[in-house]
Amino acid sequence: MSHFGHSKYNAMRSFLFLSIFLSILFFPTDYLGQCTVDESYTIAGIYPNPLPIGYAGQPYSEDITFVMPTDTSGATINNFEIVSIALPVGLSWECNNAANGCNYNPQNNVYGCINVFGTPILAGIYDVEVSILVDVTASGASIDNIPVPFFITLEIQTPAIGNSGFNSNPPLGCLPLDVDFTNNNPGLLYYEWDFGNGVTSNDENPGIQTYTQPGAYPVQYSGYNNMDTLDNYTLTEVTILNISENWLGQPWGWEPLNGNNPDPYFQLLEDGNLIYQSNYEYNNDGPITWSVNINMDPNKQYKINVMDADETAAQTNAAEITYGGDDNCGNHIMNFSSCSSCGAGSYSNVAYNIDYQQIFPVPSVQSLDTIVVGAAPGIPNIVYDSTAYTIATDSSQYILQWSIDSVFWTGHTDAIESIDQTGYYYVTAYSPLGCSSTSDSVFVIYCDTTLSFEIEIDAAENLYVPNLPQGYGVQWYLDGIEISGATTYDHQPEENGDYVAYVYDSLGCDFLTAPFVYYNDASIQELQRDFWCYPNPAQDQFVVMWPENVQLESLMLYNMEGRLMHSIDVYTSPQIIDVSQLSNGMYMLFGAGEQGMLKKRVIVSH
């Protein structure tokens, strides 16, 4: 190659390298979650359905376009909110209106889209549920958060990586991994398989191979349609050792006496046909060596002619005396082994080197593929925090999927999850190859912290707990003592005092109502009615008032645990009690005087 050719080649290499570097440097890496609406769809629905097939262990990214209706059955649809999408493990989604919480108003635009992305772990056919909340206006009234599910079919297959030689199915998986190898070239003469695990085979169809250790196993395959072995002889070097001085440069007599040494070169003949001729050496009687690379057929005869370039040399050297045509100084019939000194006629000797190589059959098909075998993660440990209502695992380095009562807990894939229902919880940890291990299950009792119960009294003076859920039990207490047999939702009080209902369910969740002060003495009840406290609930303070004839002497404020929070001596009404430093909750206010003890429930709410 010329210097110019080398320069142009290097410049092209530099340009290509720079182009590749810049494309890597500036190629966007934040494409995940970006989607494009396909407005060719005009009928309300989700498209495409089914989604394109994905493959376990391979990246997946697909856009979903949804066309929203603007009304239904006379009701105007004001908003769609995409709440969740129950995708297979390893996949995630993002809408094109994430900044607005994936809310869409079809009155403004009927189109929206979702991008499903990630690397699926498990093969299967999935009915993917898209959970949507819909807000509508019907007959002038707004109805919000109507749940509407949609379903899309998504199939995740195990990929069968093919090549010109064979298919391996599956090409990756978890140990022990059984791989079925299929020969793509049946009917050849001979096969060589190396499965990378120490096992080889010459079978046309070797069948299933089992891999019992994790790792990457290169599989080599060769198929032959010709098993002939080739003997290859290569002439690599020829030397004219000498041309003796008694050589008569025909037809004019001795070459030295005519004023010149010979100008030797050689010819190579194959079955009498010239196949190679070297350049000549001017005025040189040897030794002279030429390097060559000539393949020789062992079934043919090869001969070296030693030549004197009289005519050729005279054409290019004015000092050369012309004696006519080039002269043949002698020849040598070659054998197929090297020769260090062989006669070439009466006046010259030659040497030559022949390399021998046995060439074995060349595969007509040759392929290489890799089987990747993974091991399952260690069994995850899980811990339940009954105070915070959270469940956690120590396997945060893996892909996680929580389950409850043998069903995937959709959307719960973090190392720490907050629970909101009772059941058996466990977590499955997945390696990037989809190898999995599952923790032991933990039975968790979730008690709804939003539930609370109160005691009310009906016209017949029966105490009862309203809105008691089905399956809940009640035990009644009077002044902190269990009332034997009082286990129904209502109770007829027989004594004055503080009544509390202990509410519980079959799982052990329990609740205590605030005390209900019951007095059936008419005079006391009359006094109770004359004992005022306002505002109730109170934010920072409340006012206590009573008639002069009640004659209270002290006011005492207790929390529901019986702890005295405030106490003052009083002589006149009204009195102001500061509650700005008290915690939110229910308290009991007692007024003590000559006529007895008055009670009033008060609530502090800042």
Q: Looking at the DSSP assignment, which residues form a beta bridge with residue 426?
A: 403
What is residue 247's predicted lDDT score, i.e. its pLDDT?
A: 52
pLDDT in tens, 257-311: 455 678 899 999 999 988 888 888 888 888 999 998 788 889 999 999 998 876 5
- pLDDT interval class at 349 (50, 70, 90): very high
- In this structure, the answer to whether residues 131 and 219 fall within a common structural domain is no
Domain assignment present for 371? no
Domain end position, chosen among 118, 140, 157: 157
| CATH number of the structural domain spanning residue 134 | 2.60.40.2910
φ/ψ bin of 324: left (φ > 0), alpha (ψ from -120 to 50), beta (otherwise):
left
Residues 435 and 383 in one domain: yes
What is the chain's alpha carbon radius of gyration, rounded to the nearest angstrom? 50
Return the CATH number at 568: 2.60.40.3080
Residue 455 pLDDT > 80: yes
179-197: burial string, b at 16+ Cβ within 10 Å, e else: bebebebeebeebebbbbb
Q: What is the largest CA-CA distance in the chain?
A: 168
Supply the pLDDT for residue 433: 87
- Whether 5 is covered by a domain: the verdict is no
439 and 466 co-located in one domain: no
Q: Which residue has the higher pLDDT, 358 or 473?
A: 473
- Which parts of 431-540 are beta strand (E)? 436-438, 442-444, 456-457, 463-464, 473-478, 481-482, 490-491, 497-504, 510-512, 516-518, 532-534
**Pair 386, 468 in one domain:** no
CATH of the domain at 201: 2.60.40.10
pLDDT range class, residue 560, cuts 50, 70, 90: confident
What is the residue range of 249's domain? 230-359
In this model, does residue 596 exceed pLDDT 80?
no
Q: SS in 3 state form for 103-128?
A: EECCCCCCEEEEEEEECCCCCEEEEE
pLDDT digit string, tens, across residues 372-425 = 999 999 999 999 998 899 999 999 999 999 999 999 998 899 999 999 899 999
**Is residue 248 assigned to a domain?**
yes
The reply to whether 146 and 165 lie within a common domain is no
Indicate the residue among 200, 224, 248 that finishes a domain.
Answer: 224
Q: What is the mean pLDDT of residues 209-220?
A: 96
Establish if 2 belongs to a structural domain: no
The answer to whether position 29 is within a domain reads: no
Q: How far apart are CA 546 and CA 530, in angstroms?
A: 6
The alpha carbon torsion through 488, 494, 499, 502 (nearest 10 deg) reads: -20
| Tokens of residue 402, six digits | 């929580």
462 and 435 together in one domain: no
SS3 22: helix
327: closest CA among 269, 262, 278? 262
Same domain, 278 and 330: yes
Which of 496, 518, 540 is the last residue in one of the domains?
518
User: Collapsing DSSP states into helix, strand and coil, what is residue 6?
Assistant: helix
Please write down the long-range contacts of 326-329, taking CB distance under 8 Å and 24 or more positions apart.
Answer: 327/249, 327/250, 327/262, 329/243, 329/247, 329/262, 329/264
Three-state DSSP at 90 gives: coil
pLDDT digits (tens, 9 = 90+) for 167-199: 999 999 999 999 999 999 999 999 999 999 999
What's the pLDDT tens digit per position in 6-52? Answer: 333 333 333 323 332 323 233 333 334 579 999 999 999 999 999 99
pLDDT of residue 523: 39
Q: Is residue 499 domain-shared with residue 543, that is, in the same domain?
A: no
* Domain total in the chain: 6
Residue 460 in this model has a pLDDT that exceeds 70? yes
Domain CATH code at residue 257: 2.60.40.150
* Rounded-to-integer distance, Cα 41 and Cα 27, Å: 31
Query: Does residue 33 fall inside a structural domain?
Result: no
- Would you say residue 21 lies in a domain? no
Same domain, residue pair 385 and 303: no
Output the pTM of the full model. 0.52
Q: Per the domain annotation, does 267 fall within a domain?
A: yes
Average pLDDT, the chain: 83
Same domain, 288 and 235: yes
How do strand 490-491 and strand 463-464 relate by DSSP bridges? antiparallel
Is 248 found in the same domain as 133?
no
Are residues 545 and 493 part of one domain? no
Check whether 502 has a pLDDT greater than 70: yes
Query: 71-83: per-residue pLDDT in tens?
Result: 887 889 999 998 8
Q: Which two tokens stand for residue 310?
A: 């009289």
Structure tokens at 381: 């440990």
Expressed in angstroms, the distance from the first to the final Cα of the chain is: 91
